[in-house]
Amino acid sequence: MQKQREAGMDEGSSGSSGIVANVRADNTVCPQCKAEATLFVSSTDLNRQTTNHTFNYFQCQACRLVFMDPIPEDMQPFYRGGYQKIPSNLSELRAIAATETYRMQPILKYKSGGKLLEIGPWMGIFSCNAKDAGFEVTAIDIDQECVDFLAEVVGVKALQSSNPANTLSQMDETFDVIALWHCLEHLPTPWLVIERAAARLKPGGVLLIAIPNIESSEFSLLKESWQHLDTPRHIYFYPAQSLVNICLANGLTTLELTTKDKLSRSLSRGAWHAWTSSKIPIRYIRGAIGLLLYKLVWQSRNSGSGLTALFSNTSGVPR
């Protein structure tokens, strides 16, 4: 779900030049609320091994946001290898999308149709399912190849933008649903995206945000070895209450928040598989141990590696 295109989106982050040096600091200033932040965890690029540099994450002592500091100005080198290729046709995409129709379920609890905006759709799995469910879909992505595929093959309105916060602020259109599936953690100023997405919701509109769960059982046990830390591609992590707080500050109320849905379970299994794969060379043994660890931890703690939350604009007017 993490996507190269979102990581390249420029939201006005100051960042550092080039590759981050191996410098360990004890505190810094929170970019969201400007309060003091202390060192939270340090990690290297364990998932792709694009660099041997160490990156520091801090946690704000006020708003509790977890963030990487400093942020490299050029993130592209860390995305070497990319993600799954764009399908060659709509039938191929639909075959992939059929395995992820469960992502529509939380939306369909509250909306059966209307205008839906997806930010960071990648090749359009969710956008395709939303369109097939009857929604009028608009998508914003940084990658022109993805935008072309979405417009020409999927048949949705697609906008190319390296700055989704600015694009949102320039829109006159309002939406019944805005969805961000595991892209917020890549964006240099996610609080601006939340603020401006809230402003684009119709009265009663729904904002869906899915992110890695920094309070998960897996992170608490694996720390810097947690797969979904995905250093340095994941820049920001909102703990559950911090996410609720910033949405509340932007006039939204919480409809539901879970760390136990199907996606979260899948991310938890993946985290344990990745960890055992790094420790155990024998395929079948590591697979069995990874599955056992996942089951034992899930039964005892039941807080998965993903967080999915839905918020609503209940103010009666677009903000």
CATH number at residue 296: 3.40.50.150
Question: What residues make up the domain containing 63?
Answer: 13-79
Taking CA atoms, 105 is separated from 51, 96, 138, 203, 263, in Å, by: 39, 17, 19, 21, 12
> Is residue 187 in a domain?
yes
Q: Inform me whether the pLDDT recorded for 200 exceeds 50.
A: yes
* DSSP-derived 3-state class of residue 59: strand
Rounded to the nearest 10°, the torsion over CA 298, 303, 308, 311 is 140
> Is residue 109 in a domain?
yes
Lowest mean per-residue pLDDT among 58-62, 79-83, 90-94, 230-234: 79-83
What's the confidence (pLDDT) of residue 25? 75
> Is residue 164 in a domain?
yes
What's the confidence (pLDDT) of residue 82? 65
Q: Are residues 18 and 113 in the same domain?
A: no
Q: Are residues 270 and 290 in the same domain?
A: yes
> Is residue 69 in a domain?
yes
Q: Are residues 107 and 61 in the same domain?
A: no
Q: Are 70 and 241 in contact (CB under 8 A)?
A: no
What's the confidence (pLDDT) of residue 79? 83
Q: Are residues 188 and 273 in the same domain?
A: yes
> Is residue 189 in a domain?
yes
What is the phi-psi region of residue 153: left when phi exceeds 0, alpha when psi lies from -120 to 50, beta otherwise?
alpha
> Is residue 251 in a domain?
yes
Q: Are residues 147 and 261 in the same domain?
A: yes
Q: 58, 79, 100: which is the final residue of a domain?
A: 79
> Is residue 74 in a domain?
yes
Q: Inform me whether the pLDDT recorded for 3 exceeds 90.
A: no
In total, how many domains does the chain have?
2
> Is residue 40 in a domain?
yes
- The tens digit of pLDDT for each residue in 277-291 reads 999 999 889 999 999
Q: Are residues 251 and 137 in the same domain?
A: yes
Q: Are residues 163 and 228 in the same domain?
A: yes
Q: Between 19 and 27, whose confidence is greater?
A: 27
Q: Are residues 29 and 116 in the same domain?
A: no
What's the confidence (pLDDT) of residue 2? 39
Give pTM, 2 decimals: 0.91
Q: Are residues 49 and 160 in the same domain?
A: no
- The tens digit of pLDDT for each residue in 290-300 reads 999 999 998 77
The residues facing 27 across adjacent strands are 38
d(CA 96, CA 26): 44
Q: Inform me whether the pLDDT recorded for 15 exceeds 50.
A: no
Q: 79, 112, 133: which is the final residue of a domain?
A: 79
Q: Are 101 and 126 in contact (CB under 8 A)?
A: no
Q: 55, 79, 103: which is the final residue of a domain?
A: 79
Q: Are residues 158 and 195 in the same domain?
A: yes
Q: Are residues 22 and 126 in the same domain?
A: no
Q: Are 38 and 59 in contact (CB under 8 A)?
A: yes
- The tens digit of pLDDT for each residue in 24-62 reads 678 999 999 999 999 999 999 999 999 999 999 999 999
Instruction: Give the mean pLDDT of 215-240.
Output: 97
Residue 107's nearest CA partner among 296, 302, 310 is 310
Q: Are residues 133 and 64 in the same domain?
A: no
Maximum separation of any 2 CA atoms in the chain, in Å: 58
